[in-house]
Amino acid sequence: MSRFEIKMPKLGESITEGTIISWSVQVGDIIKEDDVLFEVNTAKVSAEIPSPVEGKVVEILFKEGDTVAVGTVVAIVDIGGENSEDEDSVEALQSSATDESVTVVSKAASEETPQVKAVKSEEERWYSPVVLQLAREAGIQPKELDTIPGTGYQGRVSKKDIKSYIVRKQSGGIMIAKPAATPEVQRITPASGTFSAEGVEVKEMDRVRKVIADHMVMSKHTSPHVTNVVEVDVTKLVKWRDKNKDAFFRREGVKLTYMPAITEAVAKALAAYPQVNVSVEGYNILFKKHINVGIAVSLNDGNLIVPVVRDADRLNLNGLAVAIDSLALKARDNKLMPDDISGGTFTITNFGTFKSLFGTPIINQPQVAILGVGYIEKKPAVIETPEGDVIAIRHKMYLSLSYDHRVVDGSLGGNFLYFIKDYLENWKE
């Protein structure tokens, strides 16, 4: 018997562990290559993990809900064959299974026979062989399959999704009323033994919100946070945008917002103050050679994700605008890949989107600083002129910088923030 070890893959830089959400197989199941084995949730993404081999599942070493370190064996598959050539191929497959470049959708899946070929929609939508088999058995046509919402990686239809859809369809149609209570929602009554309060409803956080909650608590426990705030006169920037936004859209095909200019200012500041472009490990400071700026994006479900503009200091304003727009669209369409949200060295969060003047953001670990961008509003301000001081209407906004006081002191944080302020105030129209 040739045993192949299924290991917890590494789904992105800095990912050290993953939580097994659900198993799609059981001991004794016969599986094919690219059949989904389990769904895993990490601090970055959720993903369905396909099998790199075909064979029989002989052991499952962890249960649903277990958090497992990257590279740990989670299941064993008997792939048959005992000669040395088979053993060599098994060893090669095992070494590749934990490589950082493990792709959830393998090339083999796209080269299946027509019976299991992915259905094409606006973009090619990939289905695992298990999902396609269940769909065929239930008489679900490709067009109908394309309409099924998925909860898997990048919105893909999982085995659980297709089974749930089939059950609903067979019970009298897919447009059915939801039950009064679900496992996620519990009404608290005196009988529950939890509280003696009426009119209270408890709803469990979804997986993404749990990850965010844990990450924020960890950050506050890790870094002593300090926040500086400055007011910035962005009148020149506002006038420049108003003058160029229509031509920019015709030329680049994306809307010109203030975020590319702010990102450019941040990239310049990080180049000028490399002590902010670092992370901390114990008593060691790790200086990053690349300036990768993460920009927080609010998703349609109310959660938050931070895609990363890599080497932001090497992009001009047009390149930054296109990159930011592309990442935001991918985020809201649930199409981000692990590389899109890993490797950030600094983060920007835009409170102004919600008409907030400023905030005190929490550092996105393992980074050491985060910039909060406030709402731009018109204000009367005193302006110095050769003829004397005058009061004029100016466009003002607040910038807030939260930083890790272990490695960024007040002088560095203040100078870094003032650099950004000065860059934006002297924007060349």
Catalytic residues: 405, 409
Return d(Cα 106, Cα 241) in angstroms, integer.
44
Residue where the block lists tokens 């300036």: 291
Q: Which helix (H) or strand (E) holds 308?
A: strand 308-309
Residue 60, beta-bridge partner list: 75
**Closest by Cα among 72, 21, 70, 75 to 52:** 75
Return d(Cα 129, Cα 132) in angstroms, integer.
5
Q: Which residues contact 88 (CB under 8 A, 6 or more apart)?
A: none
Q: Which helix (H) or strand (E) holds 207?
A: helix 207-222
Return d(Cα 344, Cα 407) in angstroms, integer.
18
User: Other CB atoms closer than 10 Å to residue 329's CB: what's the count?
Assistant: 13
**Closest by Cα among 258, 299, 283, 290 to 424:** 258
Contact 381, 192 (CB under 8 A): no
**Closest by Cα among 78, 25, 83, 24 to 55:** 78
Return d(Cα 363, Cα 137) in angstroms, integer.
50
